[in-house]
Structure 1
Amino acid sequence: MTCTAKCTFSSITLDWSSQKSTDESEIDGYTVKYRIKGDKRFTIKQIDDPSENTVFLDGLKSDTDYEIKVYASVDGDESLFFEKKVTTEISMARSLLLLSKKKDKEDGKLDIYQMEPESITILAKDVRRCDMISGYDDDKHVEKTIMLLGATGSGKSTQIDAMFNYIAGVSFVDDYRFELVHLTKEEEDKLGKQYVSQTNGITCYRIPWKDDSSIKCKLCVIDSPGFGDSRGEEFDKTIPEKVKNLFQRGIRSLDALCLVVPVSCTRLTDPQKYVFSSILELFAKDISDNIFIFLTYDDGAAGYPVALGALREADIPFKEDMYFRFNNANVFKTEHSDDVWRKRNNSFSRFFDKLMTLPSVSLSSTKEVLDSTAFLEIQLANIQKTIGDQVIDIMNIKEDKQFIENNEKDIESNKNFTKTVQVKEPIIESHSYASLNCVSCQKTCHLGCWVVGSWLIWTCEVMSESRCRVCRCRCGTETHALQYFTHETKTVTKTETLEELKRRYDVAKEGAEGRKDIMDKNRASLKKSLEELNGIIKQVDENIEKLRTKAVKPKIKSMDEYLDNVIAKVKDSTVDKTNYERVQILQNVKKAVSSKTSLTDLVTDI
């Protein structure tokens, strides 16, 4: 009789030829007994089908000698069919024990080993890269990069640790486990605090492929901060910005965007909706096929997971074959069955098999989405500022017009008088952060610009082919500088005479001709201001269209929606006597855009 054994670090597969018993009777089935050499107790596995000539034994210890005995059953009587001694292979985990730091035992039974990074690189504020094992850059295997997103309490950190234990080949019967998640000193101080995410920033864990690894690639795992905890909405709003910084400075492609959600979740909370949507707004449509759902706290209940319905209801896109269920209860415990461990490993195996079939998604299209989204935000602030300036112009124009009509005879007779006027005066406001200013235009083009140095100004979202899209004259990068102040305007009320009114409109004529000249130039000034706003609106519309065609989940879907946001921001701003005028102008602009008429037509409404 022949018998072959194939081993991995956690399993043995035996294959034998079907045999007749010595008395030629038919074999009814087999009983397989196996144990670690030197142990007293056997683990038993029953094979009822006599035609089955293979057995798969899993959940074994690596680099361990096993004694295996196979008994054949004939008419209810068992006799020894064959016995074999087999040694499992050495797992990746064994070598990692030397590279990690032993912590206190978990429940007094398991040794916990904390993986210590070989090196840590700061990529941006609150964004770092941890090389957990040396040799990542020299590794020629295909690279896969995955990002995990989840609310505080969703089990994201444990999911990452469970994944690493799977990759390392840790078995349920092993008396040790690994922790991959590496906390900063500040994050360690929060351990044990309820309802607070342990993770503050974004960490990229890089794991090179090893001969005894469970996967066929080198892997970069991106861990993001948990959201929806006691730190509130303001902290949640920083997470998309941190992801954006990572994309701009840390990684060039992504293979999987993994959303971590408890399997029993019946509806997404507002923080979950906000962060998931905000992150998806950063991506181009080509990421759609690479969105995975990790369902945690799986109790094995049958039926369609309710969490998937909650994701659908929240308009989170994913394919039906892209969700995986995980129960991580026994990653750092021993009281749960090895069946839970086996099911989790099967889920990881299916996930990585699927991952290997998917092409990497270049973030070049996502970079365009990021730039368009950022430009829209910049232009939103620009429109508000422009509207603020125009309100002053329009109020002056209206007051001038009314004054001229009321004092027609006095103006024509050149009679002395005084009137009040709102004057915009340029001022400088200092800040603790840098903004991108145009030295030529004396204008702030990007408030709070993230660019780290003058040599990188061309990478700012306001730049296109090294020309600024905010400046009136589309000035080049050479006229721009990162400065710790912004150019603002302050409105002051002044008293002016007739002569000063004429000088303001550059009018030298007297009498009725002078009055008409003032009114003509009055309207020309408004028209020029509206033409500038028209140009901004056109740029915004182009970017909205770009987002609509390229983004997975466009932040703004239409010009109407964009202008509604601007109007809402104006209404929520400090109330003063100009607020009503600002809202009226914006509503007139919205009507003009909807009817596709030029904004300069609004001159006739003044």
Structure 2
Amino acid sequence: MVGETGTGKSTLINAMINYIMGVRWEHKMWLEVTEISEHQTESQTKVVTVYDVYAPSSPFNLTVIDTPGFGDTEGFDKDKRVSEALQQLFRSEDGIREIHAVCLVLNATDVRLHERKRYILDEILSLFGKDIEKHILLLFTHQEKKNLPKRLINFIKESLIKYVKNDEYVCFTFDNCQSEYCDEKDRESYKTSWDNGIENFRKFFDYVNKINPKSLDMTEGVLRARKQLDACVGNLRDRIRWAELKKQELEQTKTALDKCENYKEEQKNFQYEVDEPYKKLVPINASWWEWSKKATRCEVCEENCHYPGCWWVSNLSKCSVMTEGKCTVCTGRCHHTKHVKDSNKYVIKTRKVTKTNYDLKKQYEEVVGEKKSLMIKLEKDIQQMEKEKIRLVEECYQCLEKLMETALKSTSISSFIHLDFIIEKVKETGNQERVRKLEELKRRATEENRGLVERVCVYTQQMMS
């Protein structure tokens, strides 16, 4: 069950469970599903809830996966946590492996058909693989009239047709009135609502029971690819900055060596200054509601491999950036046992360092003993960094290409915000064919989202600051 905040999804789920449990109008009762948690902080972080309903009177058991509403005041970060929680659910040993339907819940009375709603529909579709296309059902709430508003239908068609490649869609309507309190004298006026609700749920479950369940393997792969793309881009940004600072240090050293071309052992007081880059481990500055925000980092490479990391993972071999027990992000592709996940991350800083003739002599001794050999060694280090940068650019592109091949919508917010950066770095590799492909993807995404692009730019600036 997915939908925008305020569509009445929770009320619909309650009505659905009441139907399965056999509650009817003449029983004069209503079952309310509530969640009880011993720890309030845990309750606040649970973004996905699974209800398993077993009713002796029902011919089938029901599992409902309830997601929080998209597009609320917490913004993009809240929506991203939904995808993380779904990935956890689909990957865990006792999780969900297949589903019969993805129910997109919409408010039939909402006439505010603006870019925000289009963004919400696109973000929801971006969670699932292309093989879920025919399993998407539309559930309209607060619908008391027989026919749905034509304007709403046209908006849904326009939004879905790009990804659900057919003109037909299956929808069911519900008025969400069964749970409303009424006096005894008003009960009769609600009987029609109850009867309509029972009939609509009967039609809904008759349809769902005829659907063959669909594996979530492709969908889990889509969610994993999005996490890997975020991690690769984040690591690549750090690595590029590190390479640039090391190159700057190299140039400063080269300048010093040029000044000391007539270097001799007796020049005891020769000194030069460089801006030396280094990595410092600092605490993550998270807000109180982000107490679980942690980084997965490699202690060998001293790199942030996944930040924010998979908050549900305790065994790092299960982290989204790990494949066959090894990291796909850090420079050394180190084993997961060389990584830790905690509330610290590496930050690149620089410091002024004064070096002397002793430092130069030590560097000379590490090579053949000539100034030219020292520069060759340093240049080789820079070339190696460039090769690693190209490898990570390739990793970013492969993640994005996988999304283009498997996701119902490849350019969600989580991938769109990286497009300019990836295009720039692919240009540096000289692969013009890929550049054209990415620029076309960006052009289409920009046209489809129009007013959303400005919001994405604002969000990107906030994320980078």
Q: What TM-score bracket applies, with the shorter chain setting the length?
A: 0.7 to 0.9
The structure with the larger Rg is: 1
Separation in 1, partners of 2:176, 2:283? 51
Q: What is the CA deviation profile of residues 260-296 of structure 1, one whole-angstrom value per residue up to 9, with x for unaligned ones?
A: 1112334555554444433432322121111111111
Offset of residue 383 of structure 1: 0.6
Change (3 A) 1:241 1:335: farther
Residue 226 of structure 2 aligns to a residue whose secondary structure is helix
Q: What residue is the counterpart of 2:390 in the other structure?
A: 534
Residues 261 and 588 of structure 1, relative CA distance in 2, 3 Å threshold? closer
Distance 2:133 2:235 in 1: 32
In the TM superposition, residue 392 of structure 1 has moved relative to its aligned partner by 0.2
Determine which of 78, 100, 105 is the counterpart of 1:255. 100
Question: Deviation of residue 379 (structure 1)?
Answer: 0.9
Q: Which amino acid aligns with 1:462?
A: V
Taking the aligned partners of 1:226 and 1:561, their CA distance within structure 2 comes to: 22
The equivalent of 2:432 in structure 1 is: 595
Alignment of 1:100-179 (within 5 A): 148-172=1-25, 174-179=26-31
Please tell me whether the aligned partners of residues 174 and 197 of structure 2 are also in contact (alpha carbons under 8 angstroms).
Answer: yes
**What is aligned with 2:320?**
461
By how many angstroms is 1:500 displaced? 3.1
Aligned residue for 2:309, secondary structure, equals: coil
Q: Distance in 2 between matches of 1:463 and 1:171?
A: 50
Residues 559 and 185 (structure 1 numbering): CA distance in 2 closer, same or farther, change over 3 Å? Answer: closer
Check 1:282–1:463 CA distance in 2 against 1; reply closer, same or farther (3 A cut): same
The 8 Å contact of residues 166 and 348 in structure 1, kept in 2 or not, is answered as yes
Distance 1:234 1:488, change over 3 A: closer
Contact 2:113 2:155 in 1 (8 A): yes
**Aligned partners of 1:551, 1:360: CA distance in 2, in Å?**
19
Superposed displacement of residue 398, structure 1: 4.1
Aligned-pair distance for 1:258?
0.9
- Specify which of 330, 343, 368 is matched with residue 196 of structure 2: 343
Structure 2 counterparts to residues 490-529 of structure 1, below 5 A:
490-497=349-356, 500-501=359-360, 503-504=362-363, 506-507=366-367, 509-510=369-370, 514=371, 516-529=372-385
1:234 CA drift (Å): 4.7
Structure 2 equivalent of residue 446 of structure 1: 306
Q: 1:308 to 1:206 in 2, by over 3 A?
A: same
The offset of 1:449, in angstroms, is 3.4
Q: TM-score, normalised by structure 1?
A: 0.59
One-letter amino acid of the structure 2 residue matched with residue 179 of structure 1: L
1: distance between equivalents of 2:47 and 2:417? Answer: 32
Cα 1:200–1:266, aligned 2, differ >3 Å: closer, same or farther? Answer: farther
What is the CA–CA distance in structure 1 between the aligned matches of 2:73 and 2:412, rounded to whole Å?
29
Q: For the Cα contact (< 8 Å) 2:123–2:413, is it kept in 1?
A: no
Partner of 1:277: 122
Residues 1:222 and 2:65 are matched in the alignment: yes
Give the 3-state SS of the residue equivalent to 2:320 in structure 1: coil
Offset of residue 534 of structure 1: 0.9
Q: What's the offset of the Cα at 1:587?
A: 3.8
> Would the aligned equivalents of 1:208 and 1:218 in 2 still touch at CA under 8 Å?
yes
Residues 151 and 228 in structure 1, CA contact (< 8 A), matched pair in contact too: yes
When residues 151 and 177 of structure 1 are mapped into structure 2, their CA distance, relative to the original with a 3 A threshold, is: farther
Decide whether the 8 Å contact of 2:83 with 2:223 is kept in 1: no
Structure 1 residue 552, shift from structure 2 partner:
1.7
Aligned counterparts of 1:534 and 1:258: Cα–Cα separation in 2: 41
Aligned residue for 1:179, secondary structure, equals: coil
- C-alpha deviations, 1:76-128, integer Å up to 9, x for none? xxxxxxxxxxxxxxxxxxxxxxxxxxxxxxxxxxxxxxxxxxxxxxxxxxxxx
Q: Do residues 476 (structure 1) and 335 (structure 2) align?
A: yes
CA-CA distance at 1:389 after TM superposition: 0.3
Cα distance change of structure 1 residues 559 and 538 upon mapping to structure 2, 3 Å threshold: farther
Q: 2:296 aligned to 433, 436, 442, which one?
A: 436
2-side partners of 1:239 and 1:557: how far apart? 13
Report the Cα offset of residue 240 of structure 1.
3.0
Match of 1:547 among 403, 409, 434: 403
| 1:433-467 per-position Cα deviation (integer Å, ceiling 9, x unaligned) | 6543444444443334336676x322111221122
**How many angstroms does 1:335 deviate by?**
5.8
Q: SS in structure 2 opposite 1:357?
A: coil
| CA distance, structure 1, for counterparts of residue 35 and residue 311 of structure 2 | 27
- Asked if 1 retains the 8 angstrom alpha-carbon contact of 2:403 and 2:410, the reply is yes
* One-letter amino acid of the counterpart of residue 544, structure 1: L
Q: Which residue of 1 aligns with 2:81?
A: 238
Q: Are 2:277 and 1:424 equivalent residues in the alignment?
A: yes
The offset of 1:209, in angstroms, is 4.4
1:295 aligns with 2:124: no
From 258, 261, 277, give the equivalent of 1:411. 261
C-alpha separation between the residues in 2 aligned to 1:356 and 1:594?
Answer: 49
2:169 is the alignment partner of 1:321? yes
Deviation string 1:191-225 (CA, Å, 9 cap, x unpaired) is xxxxxxx9974322211242x33xx3210112222
For residue 413 of structure 1, report the CA deviation from its aligned partner: 5.3
C-alpha deviation, 1:252, in angstroms? 1.7
SS in 2 for 1:177: coil
> What are the Cα deviations for residues 321-340 of structure 1, in whole angstroms up to 9, with x where unaligned?
31112222344353646444
Check 1:461–1:588 CA distance in 2 against 1; reply closer, same or farther (3 A cut).
closer
Question: In structure 2, how many angstroms separate the alpha carbons of the residues matched to 1:461 and 1:199?
Answer: 20
Note closer, same or farther for the CA distance 1:370–1:276 as it changes in structure 2 (3 Å cut). Answer: same
1:92-107 superposed matches below 5 A: none
* Residue identity opposite 1:283 in structure 2: F
Q: CA deviation at 1:366?
A: 1.9
Residue 229 (structure 2) pairs with residue 376 (structure 1): yes
**Consecutive unaligned residues in structure 2, runs of 5 or more:** 285-290, 435-465
Counterpart code for 1:496: K
Per-residue CA distance 1:352-396 (angstroms, 9 max, x = gap): 122112111222222222222111111111111101201202323
Q: Whole-Å Cα distance in 1 between the matches of residues 329 and 88 of structure 2?
A: 22
- State the Cα distance separating 1:411 from its structure 2 match: 1.4
The letter for the 1-side match of 2:141 is T
Deviations 1:40-76 (A, max 9, x none): xxxxxxxxxxxxxxxxxxxxxxxxxxxxxxxxxxxxx
From the two aligned structures, give the one with the greater helix fraction: 2
Structure 2 residue identity aligned to 1:450: C
The answer on whether the counterparts of 2:48 and 2:68 sit within 8 Å (CA) in structure 1 is yes
**Higher strand fraction (1 or 2):** 1
Q: Distance in 1 between matches of 2:173 and 2:196?
A: 9
Conserved 8 A contact 2:48-2:67: yes
| In 2: Cα distance, 1:425 partner to 1:502 partner | 22
Identity across aligned pairs (percent)? 29
Give the Cα–Cα distance (whole angstroms) in 1 for the partners of residues 8 and 188 of structure 2: 19
Higher-RCO chain (CA-CA 8 Å, sequence separation at least 6)? 2
Question: After alignment, is 344-353 or 273-282 more displaced?
Answer: 273-282
So what's the TM-score if we normalise by structure 2?
A: 0.75
